[in-house]
Chain A
Amino acid sequence: MSKKSRSKLWFLVHSWLALPIWFFVLIVCVTGTLAVVSQEIVWLANPDIRASKPSDDAEPLTYDQVIGAIKRAEPQVIVESLSRPDESHFALSANLSYPDGRSLEVYVNPYTGVIQGISPAFNFQAFTRALHGWWLVPFTNGYSWGWYLVSLLGLPLLASLVTGLVVYKRFWKGFFKPTLRFNHGARIFWGDFHRLSGIWSIWFIAVISITGTWFLIEATLSDNQITLSSEPIVPAIARDKVPMSATGVPAPMIPLDEAISIATQRIPGLEASFVSLPSNAYSHLRIGGRGWYPLMFQTAEINPYNGEIAVSHLLSDRSALEFVTESMRPLHTGDFGGLWIKLIWAFFGLVLSMMVLSGLLIWTKRTALATLNALKREAKASRQPAKTQVLQAETTEGNQ
């Protein structure tokens, strides 16, 4: 095969990867971009989720103080879990169980313990994630087919990156000589745009496509009951370790702050950015947070009656493979280092969405041009009745 026809072939492959499914890819990119900053969008829209400081020298409350404040405001509710978001401008998130049977996330001021608001029935964050992640297809038996549908896109995305770089000869020159021609018509502009944003997004497209493909692998493994996890299965607290109480009321548990300090003293480096309270008399208190490696969490399960650490799952317990596989999700979502990383992810998500659109525009404009040429030739051909082949001029890009 000649060099020229090979590059034509690569070019055709590059165009065909996304073209027949461009709208699906576009919506997945746009919803993914929204999902990255969904928490921030809610922060802008809903004052309840903001952590406003009552005074400049206000100190954040401890978990026990927060629970105490919630109990004073709503004596009947049961706190199920608490979490401190990574960014200090967000209110604490608490899951509360109400006597009417509702189980709701509420936003609690970290300095005063005031319940600022109840999460609305429409959870924008969860909705954009569900739309992006599994196209809203419900999970009934293992992973939903929507999950497979979306995560399959990792493969054409990766192939688009590779073929794009093959087709775009000496693409590295584009870094030193950025070209974006505004005055040569839409076709030239979108072509320049597609190439320019493409080379600057190489790292991002690689990250998103590889992690996206991982989601496909993850679902396939899970649906075939294969696990790579070293996470221990936590047995219930032994019957004789749960105190009886002659009075017939629940046995006292140690204060949450005490449990946290016991655990963090025994396990250096363990942080408690979230706590789940025991979900029955025989289950543990679970605390967890990020360790030195910001992409993964460490957790410990604590006996709530005596403070004993039943099991812990630390960075040092993870296999090398787990460091790779567990990093995939945060790398995909960009939620591992605060607001700036999210904004960078959202920006490149937008660029990626624009690449789908510009790719489509290039195609349609080129096809329109080719059709126009074909019609001209057709007009000629009707004067000279010879069979002419037309519509071949679709791969000019590959020859540039």
Chain B
Amino acid sequence: MNKAMTVQPPSPLRAFWLKWRFHINILLLLVPLGFMPKYFADAALFRGDSGLGEREVGEVQVGPWSLKLAELRNEPPRPDPAGPMKSFNAALCATCIDQVKATYLRIGKPRSLRAAGVIFFGTPYRMGAMLPIPERTPLDADVWITMEGWDGAIHQAYIPLSQASPATIDWLKKRGVKP
């Protein structure tokens, strides 16, 4: 390289470039440095050190039981091969831990227990579900919580999606609600 370089003294800019061109890649170190706060925030989020999720929705009463609901991340649904998904975390009330067999989440009212939606995985202290956001979700959609007891009892409750995830509503508005 530099075969064309002649004895004419190079311009200061060119000299600088020639001297430092192979060291510019040190700047790539800025990438992990920049992401480090995010990395540690995420580590704390998944350990539960920073609470149930990035944004707590609050306590939802479901029949005799209740659960604390939180958005894992305060952000719009994430793309997924199966359609946009929104992650929620939940914790059961202390007294209902042994009574509740399963908890489900769904957008819109379930027609039956078999269509109760996605099931929560995890422990009663901290469980998570990935809620699919259907193509035609209206802005006034409700998030339905279905809880099933070990004795066969079923209890349901709903909260507006706007309360469960304002970021999802903003995202729906931006995307335009499909009829």
Interface residues of A (CB under 8 A from B): 12, 19-24, 27, 78, 80, 97-104, 121-123, 126-127, 130-131, 135-138, 140-141, 146, 149, 225, 236, 239, 242, 244-251, 279-283, 360, 363, 377-378, 381-382, 387-392, 394
Do A281 and B102 form a contact, CB below 8 Å, given A138-B38, A141-B78?
yes
A292 → chain B, closest Cβ, in Å? 32
Determine whether the beta carbon of B47 is less than 8 Å from that of A104.
yes
Determine whether the beta carbon of B98 is less than 8 Å from that of A249.
yes
Determine whether the beta carbon of B2 is less than 8 Å from that of A23.
no
Determine whether the beta carbon of B35 is less than 8 Å from that of A244.
no
Q: How far is the CA of A135 from the CA of B120 in the complex (A)?
A: 32
- Per CB-CB distance, the 3 closest pairs between chain A and chain B, nearest first, are A102-B48, A97-B123, A248-B151
Point out the residues of chain B lying under 8 angstroms from A100, CB to CB.
48, 125
Q: How far is the CA of A368 from the CA of B123 in the complex (A)?
A: 64
Looking at chain A's contact residues, the main secondary structure is loop
Point out the residues of chain A lying under 8 angstroms from B44, CB to CB.
121
B115 → chain A, closest Cβ, in Å? 13
Do A23 and B126 form a contact, CB below 8 Å, given A103-B47, A280-B102, A387-B6?
no
Contact of A245 among B5, B35, B151 (CB under 8 A): B151
Q: List 20 A-B contacts (CB under 8 A).
A: A12-B1, A23-B25, A23-B26, A24-B25, A78-B124, A98-B48, A100-B125, A101-B48, A101-B51, A102-B47, A130-B39, A135-B32, A136-B36, A225-B81, A248-B98, A248-B149, A283-B121, A377-B7, A388-B6, A391-B3
Q: How far is the CA of A244 from the CA of B99 in the complex (A)?
A: 11
Determine whether the beta carbon of A99 is less than 8 Å from that of B125.
yes
Looking at chain B's contact residues, the main secondary structure is mixed
Q: How far is the CA of A247 from the CA of B101 in the complex (A)?
A: 12
A281 → chain B, closest Cβ, in Å? 5
Determine whether the beta carbon of B7 is less than 8 Å from that of A387.
yes
Determine whether the beta carbon of A101 is less than 8 Å from that of B126.
yes
B175 → chain A, closest Cβ, in Å? 16
Q: How far is the CA of A245 from the CA of B151 in the complex (A)?
A: 5
Q: How far is the CA of A141 from the CA of B78 in the complex (A)?
A: 7
Determine whether the beta carbon of A390 is less than 8 Å from that of B151.
no
Determine whether the beta carbon of A101 is less than 8 Å from that of B7.
no
Point out the residues of chain A lying under 8 angstroms from B99, CB to CB.
248-249
Give B119-132 as 1s and 0s: 1 = Cβ < 8 Å from A's Cβ atoms.
11111111100000
Do A244 and B150 form a contact, CB below 8 Å, given A136-B35, A141-B79?
yes
Do A388 and B39 form a contact, CB below 8 Å, given A23-B23, A101-B51?
no
B81: nearest chain-A partner, CB-CB: A225
Do A22 and B126 form a contact, CB below 8 Å, given A101-B52, A103-B47?
no
Contact of A138 among B23, B42, B91, B119 (CB under 8 A): B42
Determine whether the beta carbon of A389 is less than 8 Å from that of B3.
yes
Q: How far is the CA of A274 from the CA of B138 in the complex (A)?
A: 44
Q: How far is the CA of A320 from the CA of B109 in the complex (A)?
A: 47
A286 → chain B, closest Cβ, in Å? 12
Residue B13 lies at the interface, judged by CB distance under 8 Å to chain A:
no
Point out the residues of chain B lying under 8 angstroms from A126, CB to CB.
43
Q: How far is the CA of A250 from the CA of B6 in the complex (A)?
A: 85
A242: nearest chain-B partner, CB-CB: B101
Contact of A279 among B28, B49, B122 (CB under 8 A): B122
Point out the residues of chain B lying under 8 angstroms from A136, CB to CB.
31-32, 35-36, 38-39
Residue B12 lies at the interface, judged by CB distance under 8 Å to chain A:
no
Determine whether the beta carbon of A97 is less than 8 Å from that of B125.
yes
B124 → chain A, closest Cβ, in Å? 8
Q: How far is the CA of A246 from the CA of B101 in the complex (A)?
A: 12
Contact of B150 among A78, A248, A280 (CB under 8 A): A248
Which of A248, A283, A381 is most buried by chain B, counting CB atoms within 10 A of its CB? A248
Contact of B102 among A23, A137, A282 (CB under 8 A): A282
B111-161: which have CB < 8 Å to A?
Answer: 114, 119-127, 149-153
Q: How far is the CA of A293 from the CA of B24 in the complex (A)?
A: 44
A130 → chain B, closest Cβ, in Å? 6
B1-39: which have CB < 8 Å to A?
Answer: 1-7, 21-26, 28-29, 31-32, 35-36, 38-39
B101: nearest chain-A partner, CB-CB: A281
Give B69-80 as 1s and 0s: 1 = Cβ < 8 Å from A's Cβ atoms.
000000000110
B154 → chain A, closest Cβ, in Å? 12
